[in-house]
Amino acid sequence: MQTLGVYIHIPFCVRKCVYCDFLSAPATRETQRLYVEALKKEIRENAGLYTEYTVETIFFGGGTPSLLKGGHIKDILSTLKIYYKVSQNAEITLEANPKTTDLKKLCALRAAGINRLSIGLQSADDRELKILGRIHTYEDFLQTYGDARAAGFGNINVDLISALPSQTLESWINTLEKAVSLTPPPEHISAYSLIVEEGTPLYEHLEQFPPIPDEETERQMYYETKRILERHGYERYEISNYAKQGCESRHNRIYWQRGISHTHDYVGFGLGASSTVGNSRWKNTSDMSLYLSNSANIKEDQQTLSENDLMEEFVFLGLRMTAGISAAEFHRTFQKNIEDIYREPIEKWVSQGLLARDGDIIRLTDKGLDFSNTVFADFIL
């Protein structure tokens, strides 16, 4: 039996944040209803492809999945459970934004089977939230967090973003301190640096926004993140992800460990969702009217991954994890020695202190994690 991670894309938001390049937009209740129907159809019609799999994780991402009615989420989950073999202890995550939920909805989500909540806080500073175009304040977040605990969620991630327009080092530290001081503290914290993506209002009108922290400040923010979170008992298990012991995101692990074991496949349902199963990769259409009208013919960009693609993926995804990659596992997967393929970059970066070799394991050092993209560039075949 193989392991399957299921991603479900909910492409709706109250309004667009200025930095966002995710596939999401405001929509009427009727569009949301039609979308859920199309989603369920897609899930049903593809079930035959995954009879050999056990679904270990389900992740509702977006967009703002918490914008959907609780009944819609329940319906989608029931469809999955009817047509797929979903593990008894599957991790089922839903991304939630403050101001789109209340205690009643969170109780309904918990009852429907959602057992992990990922709440988008991004910043504890209301001025920064406003600049980003977020729909909520820090106070709104506290309400959602308290409601989530009251609804019985025992596994919560809080999403944070550093290097925001106008953000100072002090303000970032304040956001981190507030996040770890929540009662009880979140089990998991994701802390990414803002990337100004082309095509977003922030990119197009950058000069109209307060300045983004310079590189030196951004680096200090990065070090403070690690220092503060580790001091509060969070272990960094991936470049931007920290968890209390045993609370790492299983869904993320399936994704990152796909390189390490091809028994970890993932399928995405919904608008623009990506899938990688075996050596096949595809993406669903991003055209909403096409998705709503014909969910049987929505796969685009289908490609067969070559052995080189798979070896690169093994390294890129595996090295994102602080646990690193196993040379023996590489050999088991490709019947090749990793040194025969990657001797030069391994020796180069080990000698420069960005990679470490502990017997079978090759991993990025703390310094290597800071410069991961430079290291990864040398592993392209």
Interface with ligand SF4 (CB under 6 A), residue from 16, 85, 127, 244:
16
What is the 8-class DSSP label of residue 305?
P
> What is the x/- site pattern for ligand SF4, positions 74-113, by CB under 6 A?
-----------------------x----------------
Nearer to ligand SF4, 118 or 276 (CB): 118
SS3 208: helix
**CA-to-CA distance for 276 and 116, rounded, in angstroms?**
23
Q: With contacts defined by CB under 6 A, name the span among 18-26, 261-269, 292-300, 328-336 that binds ligand SF4.
A: 18-26
Nearer to ligand SF4, 252 or 257 (CB): 252
Q: With contacts defined by CB under 6 A, name the span among 37-45, 59-67, 214-222, 228-236 that binds ligand SF4.
A: 59-67
Examine residue 41 and tell whether it contacts ligand SF4 (CB under 6 A).
Answer: no
Rounded to a whole number of angstroms, the minimum distance from the CB of residue 201 to ligand SF4 is 11
Nearer to ligand SF4, 16 or 367 (CB): 16
Rounded to a whole number of angstroms, the minimum distance from the CB of residue 216 to ligand SF4 is 27
**CA-to-CA distance for 54 and 57, rounded, in angstroms?**
9
Interface with ligand SF4 (CB under 6 A), residue from 22, 53, 256, 314:
22
Examine residue 196 and tell whether it contacts ligand SF4 (CB under 6 A).
Answer: no
The bridge status of strand 280-284 relative to strand 299-304 is antiparallel
Rounded to a whole number of angstroms, the minimum distance from the CB of residue 7 to ligand SF4 is 14
Task: With CB under 6 A as the rule, give the number of residues binding ligand SF4.
Answer: 11
**CA-to-CA distance for 27 and 15, rounded, in angstroms?**
9
What is the 8-class DSSP label of residue 113?
T
Rounded to a whole number of angstroms, the minimum distance from the CB of residue 100 to ligand SF4 is 9
User: What separation in angstroms does the CA of 167 have from each of 19, 59, 96, 255?
Assistant: 15, 31, 24, 31
Q: Looking at the chain, list the stretches that DSSP marks H as alpha helix, in order from N- to C-terminal side.
A: 29-45, 70-83, 103-112, 126-132, 138-150, 169-180, 201-204, 215-231, 250-256, 288-293, 307-320, 327-334, 338-351, 366-370, 372-377
Examine residue 163 and tell whether it contacts ligand SF4 (CB under 6 A).
Answer: no
DSSP 131-170: HHT-S--HHHHHHHHHHHHHTT---EEEEEEES-TT--HH
**CA-to-CA distance for 35 and 174, rounded, in angstroms?**
39
Rounded to a whole number of angstroms, the minimum distance from the CB of residue 63 to ligand SF4 is 5
Of residues 140, 132, 247, 124, the one with CA closest to residue 188: 247
Q: With contacts defined by CB under 6 A, name the span among 14-22, 201-209, 210-218, 310-318 that binds ligand SF4.
A: 14-22
Nearer to ligand SF4, 62 or 345 (CB): 62
Examine residue 13 and tell whether it contacts ligand SF4 (CB under 6 A).
Answer: yes
Examine residue 200 and tell whether it contacts ligand SF4 (CB under 6 A).
Answer: no
**CA-to-CA distance for 205 and 199, rounded, in angstroms?**
10
What order do you get walking across the sheet with 325-326 strand by strand?
Answer: 325-326, 361-364, 355-358
The number of CA neighbours under 13 Å toward the Cβ of 36 is 21
Examine residue 63 and tell whether it contacts ligand SF4 (CB under 6 A).
Answer: yes
Examine residue 10 and tell whether it contacts ligand SF4 (CB under 6 A).
Answer: no
Examine residue 190 and tell whether it contacts ligand SF4 (CB under 6 A).
Answer: no
Interface with ligand SF4 (CB under 6 A), residue from 24, 79, 155, 249:
24
**CA-to-CA distance for 1 and 85, rounded, in angstroms?**
10
Nearer to ligand SF4, 25 or 47 (CB): 25
Contact 269, 9 (CB under 8 A): yes
Examine residue 62 and tell whether it contacts ligand SF4 (CB under 6 A).
Answer: yes
Examine residue 17 and tell whether it contacts ligand SF4 (CB under 6 A).
Answer: yes
Summarize as ranges the residues that interact with ligand SF4 (CB under 6 A): 13, 16-17, 20, 22, 24, 62-64, 97, 120
